[in-house]
Chains A and B, each alone.
Chain A
Amino acid sequence: MKIIVPIKQVPEIAEVKIDPETKTLIRAGVPSILNPFDEFAVEEAVRIKEKFGEGEVIIITMGPPQAEEALKKCLAMGGDRAIHLSDRAFAGADTWATAYTIAQAIKSLEPFDLVICGKQAIDGDTAQVGPEIAEILGIPQITYALEVEVAENKKRIKVRKETDEGFEVLECRLPALLTATKGLNEPRLPSLMAIMKASKKEIKLVTADELGGDHEQFGLPGSPTQVVEVFTPEQRTGGIKIDGTEDPEGAAKQLVEWLLKKGAI
């Protein structure tokens, strides 16, 4: 099986601060890590490969040169090789341009069986890139995967997914795209051996020219959305507290009056 895992390098969340003047993330001096949800994706891909005893796990990222660190980490977790999309032309991409760029790289790897993404990156928290890649590639998608079972004939997949209300079990044909959420598995911790081996695995650097596709869809020019402002929402005020221990009937009346006044009922 050929399994592709797109990943992202993100700032370590515990240390991120917002510049009060420019309202942007202060990235200087903040250590970068592999997006934690992507760890579940990589782990699942490697487990599927190990289960079948054959196949290839290919890691893809789009990002600046230092994103190579995150790729190395994935290779130490068992990825076989990596593709690093790095070019100034990719800079400033929103979720759509990012998904478009990554999808071009995935297309170049056709035929493939499965794409596994983390459900979202902890810096942007949009959860859009995975589903957008599936749309661009025209393949089925199952998001928030908690349990994955690939059929013996490697043609179909059965996934238990998380929903707001509970769980759903879905089945679809391959190739398909999954997004992984916490609880899917316990990502392995790299051993000395794994890091050693990873240092010898291939990381292929790909520029915009080498990637092909419609260059106008890359980076900032290819981004239909723009961040206008980042701000901390004002703290909500209001709300009332009605104590019903003394006079429950009176309290209930008070509540109904208040809700009426607010137009809620």
Chain B
Amino acid sequence: MQTNKIKAETITPSKLSKIRVIEGEETICESCSDYLTDEARFGDGYAERIYYARSEADVVAVVNWANESKTLLTISAGRTGLTGGAVPQGGILLTLEQMDKLCGMGFDQDQNRWYVCAEPGITLETLNSAIRKKQLDTLKGKGTSEEQAALEKYLNESETYFFPPDPTEMTAHLGGSIAANASGARSFRYKAIRKWTRRIRVVLANGNILDIPRGKFFAEKGIFEVYLTDDSILEIKIPEYSMPTTKNAAGLFAHAGMDLIDLFIGSEGILGVITEAEVWLDKYPERTLTIFAFFPTEETAINFVQDVRSKHSPVQPTLVEYFDSNAVQMLREARTKGTGGVTVPSQVEQCEAIIFFEVPFAEKEMESVFMAAQELLGNHGIGMDDTWAGIDPGDLEKMKAVRHLIPETVNALIAQRKQKYSRVHKLGTDMAVPDEHLEIIIAYYKKLLDEARLEYIMFGHIGDNHLHVNILPRTDAEVEQGMKIYQQFAKKAVELGGTVSAEHGIGKLKRPFLRIMYGDEGLKEMAQVKHALDSNWILNPGNMIPKPGETLESLDS
């Protein structure tokens, strides 16, 4: 039965004094500075206490205390984020890293799919390794008899399974990844983590817990009703803005008649703390063919993309990635100067653009997959010899190293320039547009950057029209110039029905861009949802939307 009414539950919280805590701003700054930053090195974090939760009851205790004392609480997961979402701005930091256990295995009869249940602090790496290698001894003898039977059946399965979402940083935590609706290169085929989330448990700001399976609680007339344990009823009104249809749009998920679980997925921790999650698994491909194809022009490469990603394409890739002519030039230079052991293919000397794509296949389909790839490439003037193809793990490793060489070279270049101009930093975009606007947005990026004579490279997830434009300022003045162009890119992407942040989220760093996307009204609607669920604004303050007292104007700076 579908309903828009959900009943919250409570559990007995732990004693706060029993939970491991580190106190004192100075102590934390000196000995736990890792907790005060993330991958983006967003740097001005501080906190008065760090709590290490080991159970849901611990989480409830800490949240209750924060709510009663109106203390800000920032949730910390793997800190692989790039927008400062896990960086505390005072108050409490609640780390879930010790809630890292698997909870159970199950088989979903309706979906005909396996799923696994885990605590939020498990890394995607650990989760995947346990699932793939079927190393699930910790689950033996645990849970219901049904779960035990499922586990037994899973262990006897001859097929290998995995959890497909791969946001590159596999040290990311499951809970953090769900809170960020993580995606990554392979989301071209597998989509973002939203699609893989079957059920979550969430601790709300008042300490109540919602257990939300997918497919049970749906908004009615734009409203959800949460029946709290103190007999009061919370009304959540779904924002009315329309979301871009790109692989992953930033901001609170909103859709008429939406599933309640989707409100929490991608909410960047502002609505609750995820304490348990069930995620679906997929069959792990027997073999993977990765192809680097070298194109004489960017145009031919983009034409190829249109073909390979179409529904009618004879090969169905998991990812389709792009290196523009400037990125290829960077590889060419690396080849001359030395690459620190990375194998850069000699074809970069003659090509202008590279597309690489990955096709999973079963052993017996090998010939047909190769023939299909040959035909498709041939249609675009690329011979089978103009490729670097890998099915051998050694080659796949070499290919990975080439992909990583680009961001590494960019970072080294920027670090070098920073010595002379202190304000220089990389300006990396994360925008995506709908399929039909791929050529338009690329032309727009190039026009503005070329006119401004800025140095840049473009690479990344072209299959999802999600290119990372890296502007590489040479001087402080070029930083200013680049920032302005960045804003123009964001506006253009939104104008074309796209998103300002297709994978990194909003966090604290990208809030001005969310405003470009949804306007003041949209931010206000998000704030209303936040206010309904967290009236004291304690959870992940400063993420996604401005805190009370912060003016929207101040975000433009």
Contacts and interface: CB of A to CB of B under 8 A. Distances in A.
Given A29-B133, A33-B397, A189-B345, A195 B391 contact: yes
A92 interface: no
Nearest to B392: A73
Nearest to B132: A29
A170 interface: no
Interface stretch (B141-149, B165-173, B382-390, B535-543): B382-390
B391 A193 contact: no
Contacts of B386: 191
Given A29-B129, A196-B370, A199-B366, A34 B384 contact: no
Contacts of B389: 190-192, 194-195
Contact of B393 (A31, A191, A195): A31
Interface in A62-101: 69-70, 72-73, 76
A196 B291 CA distance: 13
Contacts of A76: 392
B494 interface: no
Please indicate which of the listed interface residues B367, B390, B394 has the most CB atoms of chain A within 10 Å of its own CB: B394
Given A29-B129, A29-B133, A192 B393 contact: no
A34 B367 contact: no
A189 B342 CA distance: 13
B385 A72 contact: no
Given A189-B398, A192-B373, A195-B370, A33 B392 contact: yes
A128 interface: no
A32 interface: yes
A76 B390 CA distance: 10
Please indicate which of the listed interface residues A36, A76, A186, A193 has the most CB atoms of chain B within 10 Å of its own CB: A193
B181 to A, nearest CB: 29
Interface string A205-248: 00000000000000000000000000000000000000000000
Nearest to A200: B367
B475 interface: no
Given A29-B129, A33-B397, A199-B367, A190 B384 contact: no
Contacts of A31: 393, 397
Nearest to B391: A195
A133 B166 CA distance: 46
Nearest to A33: B394
A12 B291 contact: no
Contacts of B383: 193
A8 to B, nearest CB: 13
B392 A193 contact: no
Contacts of B367: 196, 199
B399 to A, nearest CB: 9
Please indicate which of the listed interface residues B129, B389, B397 has the most CB atoms of chain A within 10 Å of its own CB: B389
A34 B398 contact: no
Contact of B394 (A73, A192, A195, A196): A73
Contacts of B391: 195
B391 to A, nearest CB: 6
Nearest to B347: A189
A81 B189 CA distance: 37
B528 interface: no
Interface of B: 129, 133, 291, 343, 345-346, 366-367, 370, 373-374, 377, 383-395, 397-398
18 contacts: A29-B129, A31-B393, A31-B397, A32-B393, A33-B392, A33-B394, A33-B397, A72-B392, A190-B388, A190-B392, A191-B385, A191-B388, A192-B370, A192-B374, A193-B385, A193-B387, A194-B389, A196-B367
Given A32-B393, A191-B384, A194-B389, 14 more contacts: A31-B393, A34-B394, A72-B392, A189-B345, A189-B390, A190-B388, A192-B385, A192-B387, A193-B383, A193-B384, A193-B387, A196-B370, A196-B374, A199-B366
